Structure 1
Amino acid sequence: MPGHLKGDRLPLSIIPYNGRRPSVDPSAFIDPTSRLVGFVKVGRGSAVFYGSVLRAEEGEVWIGEHVAILEHCLVEAPSGVRVTIGDGSLISHRAVVHGASIGRGALVGIGAILLDGAEVGDEAMVAAGTVVPSGFKVEPRSLVAGVPARLVRRLSEDEVNAIESSLEEALRKAERYKQLIKL
């Protein structure tokens, strides 16, 4: 974890568990108030913002490249499960990803909950407050909403581009924070 070690000491946000140690690309931004526990891998150019927790004591959490996990999210891998968040995805404030996987370029809205075995396709959008039940599959380039999640419609090219723009803004902020917060 180059860029995150100070001598032999780990920052408080990086917590090994039973010999399983988080791995963070040196270009990633990990806010000091976040927690990465166990087998968590964070890819190049990604960002984990304030108060978010990524837990994999007995599972695995794989965060792709250029992913933004905004404030107060929980990403947890239950025992024996690999949770994957694909390159270029945006996980909004207070979202919960528990045993679920997310494709590339997707958006998970504020306060959404994804339960065990749920899958979000590439460039798909989960609306704010949506609960995606266990085993539910969100098709690529689609919008789901509701409790439980229901297909609303296909996403337009403009909406897919808006996801990318929102992600880029979050990653720009992460770059600024890296300069302000000395890890």
Structure 2
Amino acid sequence: MEDHKTEIQNALATLKRGGLILYPTDTVWGIGCDATNADAVDKVYALKKRNESMALICLVSDYKMLNQFIEDVPEVAYDILKYTKKPTTVIYDDPIRVAENLIAEDNSLAIRVSKDKFSNELAKRFRKPIVSTSANLSGQKTPESFAEISPEILEGVDYVVNLQKKKKSAKPSAIIKLSNDGKVKVIRK
């Protein structure tokens, strides 16, 4: 348990100074940063060699935090999240108080309420959304374990969370787009 606390503190310190972390999430190993810090978000795009028009996912700790960063969460979102069995990322319209370069061209943002102990506690203690994008270069396969993460990614982050390195990654989350006009679209099952 002491390791867990130390890793949370080290990750928080890195996020607060605008750094990048490599951390285990409820799905895959992720590259993370402060979702309200445009410079940090730029670093993620640069490290992944990813086109900025391709949106990134954020993690929040709970519905209260979700409501602080989305203008109007559709009621159906709570039903979907309540009954889904697997980690589910929802793309919401009209994000607020996040870095502009994190918002997609259609003024939306993908957010997942993390149920993983570490990433949930990290977001709760950070009190802001944390970027969570797979720990791979753009176009390459998502690593299924820590051992598969490329040296370029490992060397490109400011802090590597030293937990669960033997754990296999789960599958990426389901992704659903919820528009304010009531439309629901499944992007990834």
TM-score (norm 2): 0.23
More strand by share: 1
TM-score (norm 1): 0.23
Query: Which fold has the larger relative contact order, with Cα–Cα distance below 8 Å and residues 6 or more apart in sequence?
Result: 2
